[in-house]
Structures are given as C-alpha cells and as structure tokens.
C-alpha cells in the first residue's frame, strides 16, 4: 500500500499482512490477516514510530522513500520490542546507520538480546518530550501493554496517540485504514476482541492502569500498531478495551459458552439437548466444537460470558484431550471466576469429571453441576440434559440454582 497521510506530514507506512497463517506462531489469521502499522513524521527531524515484521521489506522501505530520503531519517521510536514491530530493525540499521533508536531502558536491553544492537540507542524517560520541529513527541511508559518495555508515543500538536499494541486488532486492511472509512466495523470489533483476549488479556490490569494514566490526555487520533486508525471516534476503541479489561476481575455478560467435543456423536446429541434448554430461557449461547475450532476463536466467548458448560466424554480415564487443551489455554490466559458445569458420555468407567475438576480448580470456576451417561443418551437422558441446560441458564440470569 502507498503511504497514507493521517495528519499533515504524519504518514501511515505499515505492512498489510495477508500471508502469515499464525500470529505469534500460535493464533490463526489465515482468513483475517493483520496489519503492522508504522508511522513516519516528516519534519525538520524525521522520525518513524514503530516498524514492522520482517516481511515485505521492499514495500516497507519503498513507502518511506516515497515520503522522504531514508538516509535522512533521524529517529526510530521503538514503542515495543516484539518482532512484529521491530523485525525490520536490523535491515533499517544497515541502510540508515545514522538513525538513533529511542526506547525505554528495558528496550535498550532487548535491542541487545534480540538484535545485538548496542550503539545508537537513546533511552527516553517517562514523560520526556522530543521536538522534531513542528511536531513534538512525548513518551509515556505503559509497561506490560504488552511487554515490560512497552511505551506509547503522543504527538502533542495534532494529539495523535501512537498506542502500539493497545487498542489494536487482527484484521488486514480491506482498503480503508480509518474507522470513518471502514464499511465493516463489526469485523474489526470482533477481531479486536479476539486479539485482546489472545494477546493482551493476561495484562488487563496494566491495560486499565495505562488507560487511567492517559485519561487526561486529549486525543484526536488513536494510531495503534494493528488494525484501524481511529480518528472519528477514538474513544470507542478505548471504551471497548476498558470493558474487556474489566472483565478480568469484574462482572461479565449473562451468556453461556457451550464448548463440546464428541468422538462418535453421543456427547454431541446431549449438547443439542442442553443448548435447547439454554435457549428456552432466552439466554445467549455460543457453541464451539473443540475438534473443529481453534482455541483462539473460543477464548473471546470464555472471556466475555459468565457461564461455561463443558461437554466432553471420558477418554482413557481422562477428559477428552482436545478439551483439555482448551481448558489449559484458558488457564494460561487466566480466564477466571466463571459459573461452570459439565456433561459427557463414558463407555465403562468414567474419569473425565475428576480430570475436569482438577483442570478448572486453579481457575476458580464455580462448579454448578454435572452429569454423565453411559454410551448413547436415552430419551430420558436427553430430557435431563435439556432441563440441566435450562437450570444452568436460569443461574446465569441470576434467578436459579443447578444441581
């Protein structure tokens, strides 16, 4: 994509990535893509804020060339060291050795450990300002949004917040980079939530601290390092992030994540009965088959919804392994304080329930009931499952108990 001027002499120069399958080598983006947004301020002193993954480097450096002579660059602001934003640094250093790299003290250490860069690095302090001529940058430390070295950069005249991972989302650009030009905001909001839960949610407390720290700063544009540039309504993405961060410890939405796995369809039959019971109570339910759905897509529902029902059979005396992987990732992502229940089939001895309880014990999930059935569910079993689902839904609505 060509450079896009977001304010006078401030340009988006990012990379639109539609070729990577797994973000961080872990999270699927084959269908959605992602952008690595970088920005160039063309002033008396010339600065790039954030870089990009080492991908499409000819295109990346070509964008800079379209605005200014790359040999005249003065600064690179490294808000965050993760290689999706710093990957082209070594190449940049080769073609523009005069550039001074700006970052926190922790960034300085990471530049050495990730890239062997020890020269031409200048540490900036929290709140420090730097004049480029007509534009002034202010650096604000925001540790653990996403890594410990992370900061954001604020351009004081145009009131642009270069927020790096904060307020970012998956989703490559579909022609428009601005919120007011985007014709499918639902896609980006969904992908912002998935990105938040996959990448940032463990650091929800630092996210809330950063939002609080920046609350008095007037912002006309939020320019994150992934996803839309927010200039029509920058407060919208901030409020979404605040809401999602508060879900880490506060109340969540009155809905149910019904996550199931089934070897031969018996647990799936019961899942349909349980879902029917939930629906009868008009409680929203999101259903995921763990054998067909990557956990990346399940985590947002687990994060935002109050109730979790796990449907999974016994497998060799333990819980069905694909379900184990989902619950283990939920533990990695610290998805806590849920109302939970489980059902599943077994062939002869069971064992899944005990394993399930071991897995969710550290998550502080409150277990509100369980039941198992042998082999294929009978009509009576299915009626029980439907009632079980309805009872759980009433609990989630706040007017019932399960057993």
Among 9-17, 64-72, 81-89, 387-395, the segment contacting ligand FEO (CB under 6 A): 81-89
For the CB of residue 17, give the shortest distance to ligand FEO in the complex, in Å: 11
Q: Contact at 8 Å (CB) between 106 and 114? A: no
Q: Give the H or E element holding residue 141.
A: strand 136-141
Q: Which of 85, 231 has the CB closer to ligand FEO?
A: 85
For the CB of residue 211, give the shortest distance to ligand FEO in the complex, in Å: 17
For the CB of residue 146, give the shortest distance to ligand FEO in the complex, in Å: 4
For the CB of residue 334, give the shortest distance to ligand FEO in the complex, in Å: 17
For the CB of residue 148, give the shortest distance to ligand FEO in the complex, in Å: 11
Q: Which of 17, 84 has the CB closer to ligand FEO?
A: 84
Write the binding mask 227 to 266 for ligand FEO: x where contact by CB under 6 A, - elsewhere: ----------------------------------------
- The correct pick among 20, 63, 142, 225 for binding ligand FEO (CB under 6 A) is 225
Beta-bridged to residue 287, according to DSSP, are 258
Q: Which of 42, 84 has the CB closer to ligand FEO?
A: 84
Nearest to 178 by CA among 12, 64, 29: 12
For the CB of residue 225, give the shortest distance to ligand FEO in the complex, in Å: 6
For the CB of residue 26, give the shortest distance to ligand FEO in the complex, in Å: 12
Nearest to 221 by CA among 17, 10, 2, 66: 10
User: Does residue 148 sit in helix, strand or coil?
Assistant: coil
For the CB of residue 164, give the shortest distance to ligand FEO in the complex, in Å: 7
**Does position 17 bind ligand FEO by CB under 6 A?**
no
Q: Contact at 8 Å (CB) between 88 and 124? A: no
| Angle, CA of 287, 270 and 274, to the nearest 5° | 55
Q: Contact at 8 Å (CB) between 132 and 47? A: yes
Q: Which of 200, 258 has the CB closer to ligand FEO?
A: 200
Identify the DSSP state of 179.
Answer: G
Write the binding mask 269 to 308 for ligand FEO: x where contact by CB under 6 A, - elsewhere: ----------------------------------------
What whole-number distance in Å separates Cα of residue 17 and Cα of residue 382?
47
Q: Which of 146, 194 has the CB closer to ligand FEO?
A: 146
Per-residue tokens: 158? 């145009």
Write the binding mask 350 to 369 for ligand FEO: x where contact by CB under 6 A, - elsewhere: --------------------
Over the range 52-61, which residues count as b (16 or more CB within 10 Å of their CB) and which as e?
bbbebbeebb
Per-residue tokens: 258? 């019904």
- The correct pick among 56, 85, 194, 333 for binding ligand FEO (CB under 6 A) is 85
Among 79-87, 109-117, 255-263, 268-276, the segment contacting ligand FEO (CB under 6 A): 79-87
- The correct pick among 84, 149, 179, 191 for binding ligand FEO (CB under 6 A) is 84
| Angle, CA of 68, 73 and 76, to the nearest 5° | 125
Measure Cα distances from 248 to 253, 336, 361, 378 in Å.
Answer: 12, 7, 17, 39
Beta-bridged to residue 375, according to DSSP, are none
Write down the residue that tokens 């001895």 correspond to.
349
Determine the size of the site formed for ligand FEO (CB under 6 A).
Answer: 8
Q: Which of 80, 93 has the CB closer to ligand FEO?
A: 80
Over the range 83-99, which residues count as b (16 or more CB within 10 Å of their CB) and which as e?
bbbbbbbeebbeebeeb
308 Cβ neighbours under 8 A, 6+ residues apart: 256, 257, 259, 302, 338, 339, 340, 341, 365
Write the binding mask 157 to 186 for ligand FEO: x where contact by CB under 6 A, - elsewhere: --------x---------------------
For the CB of residue 37, give the shortest distance to ligand FEO in the complex, in Å: 10
Among 76-84, 260-268, 289-297, 303-311, the segment contacting ligand FEO (CB under 6 A): 76-84
For the CB of residue 224, give the shortest distance to ligand FEO in the complex, in Å: 9
Sign of the C-alpha dihedral computed for residues 236, 132, 86 and 71 taken in this order: positive
Interactions with ligand FEO, residue window 111-150 (CB under 6 A): 146
Q: How many residues does the chain have?
A: 403
Beta-bridged to residue 224, according to DSSP, are 164
**Does position 80 bind ligand FEO by CB under 6 A?**
yes
Footprint on this chain of ligand FEO (rule: CB under 6 A): 80, 82, 84-85, 146, 165, 225-226
């Amino acid at each position: 994509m060509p450079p896009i001027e977001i304010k006078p002499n401030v340009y988006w120069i990012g990379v639109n990535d539609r070729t990577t399958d797994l973000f961080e080598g872990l999270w699927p983006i084959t269908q959605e893509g992602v952008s690595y947004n970088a920005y160039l301020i063309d002033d008396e002193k010339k600065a790039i804020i954030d870089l990009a993954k080492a991908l499409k480097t000819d295109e990346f450096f070509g964008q800079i060339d379209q605005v200014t002579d790359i040999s005249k660059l003065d600064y690179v602001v490294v808000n965050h060291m993760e290689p999706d934003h710093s990957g082209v640094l070594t190449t940049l250093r080769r073609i523009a050795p005069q550039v001074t790299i700006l970052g926190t003290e922790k960034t300085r250490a990471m530049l050495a450990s990730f890239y062997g860069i020890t020269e031409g690095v200048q540490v900036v302090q929290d709140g420090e300002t730097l004049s480029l001529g007509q534009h002034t940058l202010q650096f604000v430390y925001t540790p653990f949004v996403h890594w410990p070295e992370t900061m954001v950069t604020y351009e004081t005249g145009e009131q642009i917040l270069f927020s790096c991972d904060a307020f970012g989302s998956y989703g490559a650009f579909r022609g428009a980079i601005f919120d007011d030009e985007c014709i499918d905001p639902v896609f980006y909001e969904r992908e912002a939530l998935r990105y938040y839960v996959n990448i940032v949610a463990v650091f929800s407390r630092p996210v809330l601290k950063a939002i609080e720290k920046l609350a008095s700063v007037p912002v006309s544009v939020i320019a994150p390092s992934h996803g839309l540039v927010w200039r029509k309504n920058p407060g919208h993405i901030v409020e979404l992030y605040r809401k999602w961060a508060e879900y880490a410890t506060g109340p969540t939405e009155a809905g149910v994540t019904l996550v199931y796995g089934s070897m031969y369809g018996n647990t799936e039959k019961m899942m349909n009965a349980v879902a029917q019971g939930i629906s009868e109570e008009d409680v929203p339910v999101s259903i995921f088959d763990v054998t067909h759905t990557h956990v990346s897509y399940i985590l947002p529902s687990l994060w935002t919804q109050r109730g979790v029902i796990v449907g999974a059979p016994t497998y060799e005396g333990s819980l069905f392994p694909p379900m184990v992987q989902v619950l283990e990732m939920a533990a990695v992502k610290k998805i806590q304080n849920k109302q939970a229940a489980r059902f599943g089939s077994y062939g002869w001895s069971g064992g899944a329930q005990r394993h399930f309880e071991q897995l969710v014990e550290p998550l502080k999930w409150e277990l509100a009931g369980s039941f198992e059935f042998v082999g294929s569910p009978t009509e009576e079993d299915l009626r029980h499952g439907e009632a079980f689902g309805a009872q759980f839904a009433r609990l989630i609505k706040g007017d019932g108990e399960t057993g």
